[in-house]
Amino acid sequence: MIVGAIVAGGKGRRMGTEVPKQFLKLGDRTILLRSVDAFLECEEIDAVIIGVPKGWINYTKQLLDEGGYGKRRGIIRVTEGGVNRNETMWKITEFAVNRLQASNSDILITHDAVRPFVTSDIIRRTIRTLEASDKKTAVTAAVPATDTILRVDEDSVVVEAPRRIHMMHAQTPQTVYLGTWRKVYKKLTEADREFRTDVSGMYLSAGLCVKVVDGARGNIKITTPEDLEAARKRVVKETVSEEKE
């Protein structure tokens, strides 16, 4: 079984809106549905589980019912998210195990709901790479850094400027075998669960391998009002281009 885990539990405080950012519109669809769309375009996906704030569960189900998914609507589940990204990922994981009877050898593809421009090709790349790897490996989409990355201390003093050729910006999806991921998460301390919000960091802390596949510069994460404005302009531009064709 291959399960898509869409993390949509955030409240969007940095966006400054009453509505969580994953439910804001980009064109005629919400940010969340655009992420769901990419997963449903992958025939390899057997189930999609979305973790959302408790008060938004019914609203999410209604969005999905009206999303035009036809028979594919039946593979989408909605569950309550957690207080942070990691807890939401864990609740989705346990839903997969307890409700869908997912096994340790099944694949979990974690994705931030607010990366609505992810493509089915990127998702498939992570699946293929993981399937060609051992069970203790994680796979993440990433793009090469175009700016110099600085490491600073607590006083904002630069202590290292690593060579840019070795630096990459992590994205999602991040893809893992369910059994290994559960073991890694259970061994994390509470402090680690707060600090390590990225699957790559969790696996590395456990001494495990993380492989990278090509993401896309357009696979942006919508976090700030400026991100949202840029995303909306992009959708308008793409819509105009499609209409001309």
**Which pLDDT belongs to residue 197?**
81
Q: Which two tokens stand for residue 32?
A: 């969340």
% helix / strand / coil in the chain, to the nearest 5? 45, 20, 35
**Which pLDDT belongs to residue 241?**
67
Give the residue among 120, 103, 104, 98 at the shortest CA–CA distance from 45: 120
Per the CB < 8 A criterion, the answer to whether 6 and 49 are in contact is yes
Distances in whole angstroms, Cα of residue 244 to Cα of each of 34, 52, 117, 120: 22, 37, 21, 24
**Which pLDDT belongs to residue 195?**
81
Specify the amino acid at residue 45: I
**Which pLDDT belongs to residue 169?**
95
The CATH superfamily holding the domain 2-143+169-244 is Spore Coat Polysaccharide Biosynthesis Protein SpsA; Chain A (3.90.550.10)
Whole-number Å distance between alpha carbons of 48 and 4: 4
The parts of the chain modelled with pLDDT lower than 70 are 11-16, 241-245
Per the CB < 8 A criterion, the answer to whether 1 and 46 are in contact is yes
Whole-number Å distance between alpha carbons of 242 and 96: 37
**Which pLDDT belongs to residue 196?**
84
Peptide bond into 162 cis (omega under 30): no
**Which pLDDT belongs to residue 242?**
65
**Which pLDDT belongs to residue 25?**
94
**Which pLDDT belongs to residue 193?**
81
Whole-number Å distance between alpha carbons of 127 and 174: 9
Question: Which pTM does this prediction carry?
Answer: 0.93
